[in-house]
Structure 1
């Protein structure tokens, strides 16, 4: 099992809580962060993205997957790659790829309680669509804990890890980054928040290896821009609260 502490050391729970004592804004990525990767919710999105690429470019599944992975790694999202290299309109893409079965997610009351107990404001910041985020949060039973969802459209179609996406988000909601914390399942998406002064937490749920993840997606847990790593989000949040 992965440690729920820092990649470098393991402070006592009260010391860990002290490192979040200044935080009054909590920002959560959506996919594979607020729910575990093995739920296979994002797996459905992944398949539909590949299908969209295959039909759009009239190619086979293997080539569509190669292009999808390459654009995801290079541009942050497949959508961004399609926009830059093929000039597509984002609306139809976002509607198609997020037309999935959200009922595979079960309510997570422990996570809801842990989020509710956090002092201050809470947001979802996702490279997906608002509609997908809202459906996902409702399925988990946690939607009412968040002030707002900041999606790829609100970001001007610039995905994380682009600096502009974070700047737009922070300005829109009047957030002071040095009083904020960011939770993400991709290490590279924490580099900008850390540079802005946010406390950063990499969420790597148990059984992540049992579903398809690119090697580069799993890298970076020892990076200097990652303050903490956890394999249990609700337990990590509860430890922060109880340590206060």
Structure 2
């Protein structure tokens, strides 16, 4: 089995002109743990909606996340919730722990071609995160769960909708993601795939499928330093 590489080879990215980035735990480090706030909000939403104790609500929330790609998709399929209401309440969080990342901004800006954020979250959430990081202006578009018709990654239809809207040529595109299963489809479509992992693979309290496992054929590269990785593959001038 071919293992993903950890040291970027610039030649592998010479023909890439479309760069696709996940948002949470990808454009900012996993250890910031911003998404923990969203996670708590989703548990609270499930608890209130179904009149469940917090522990039971969390178990159900995680089941929907695991089985359907997002908690929202599970709630829509099983309880017909209003997706806009859910997204607004899930993303009612404190963004102050995010600080500008000039190194990442400079690296993304220098990439040749177009840059996209492709997230299972919402556009308002992506805008707040990218503005806090100081990188918002470097992206051509944000494709969110609403644009995907509420069908989340890793479903093939989510990628199809993204490609239809963006016009990305997968033979000349790369995708950066923190969830291994969300890179299966991009790899099958011909994209270069880069998995963003926590420093020293310290995942903390995460689901097994969220971690780098033994099935890695769909992952070309693994890195814990997104800015450094991009800087290493930039064209030399």
Q: 1:29-63: per-residue Cα shift (whole Å, max 9, x none)?
A: 00000001211210100000000001100000110
Gaps of 5+ in 1: 1-5
Structure 2 length as normaliser, TM-score? 0.95
**C-alpha contact 1:188 1:220 (8 A) present in aligned 2:** no
- Displacement of 1:211 in angstroms is 3.7
Residue of structure 1 in register with 2:36 after alignment: 43
- Displacement of 1:242 in angstroms is 5.5
Root mean square deviation, CA, Å: 1.6
Residue of structure 2 in register with 1:223 after alignment: 216
Distance 1:42 1:184 in 2: 15
| Aligned residue pairs, count | 236
1:116-135 to structure 2, matched below 5 A, reads: 116-135=109-128
SS at structure 2 position matched to 1:88: coil
* Residue from 44, 56, 61 that aligns with 1:63: 56
**C-alpha contact 1:124 1:150 (8 A) present in aligned 2:** yes
Residue of structure 2 in register with 1:168 after alignment: 161
Q: Indicate whether 1:157 and 2:153 are aligned.
A: no
Moved more, 56-65 or 221-230: 221-230
- From the superposition, tell whether residues 135 and 79 of structure 1 become closer, same or farther in structure 2 (CA, over 3 Å): same
**C-alpha contact 1:221 1:229 (8 A) present in aligned 2:** no
1:1-244 to structure 2, matched below 5 A, reads: 7-9=3-5, 16-206=9-199, 209=202, 211-220=204-213, 222-241=215-234
- From the superposition, tell whether residues 9 and 27 of structure 1 become closer, same or farther in structure 2 (CA, over 3 Å): closer
- Displacement of 1:7 in angstroms is 3.2
- Displacement of 1:84 in angstroms is 0.5
SS at structure 1 position matched to 2:175: strand
Structure 1 length as normaliser, TM-score? 0.92
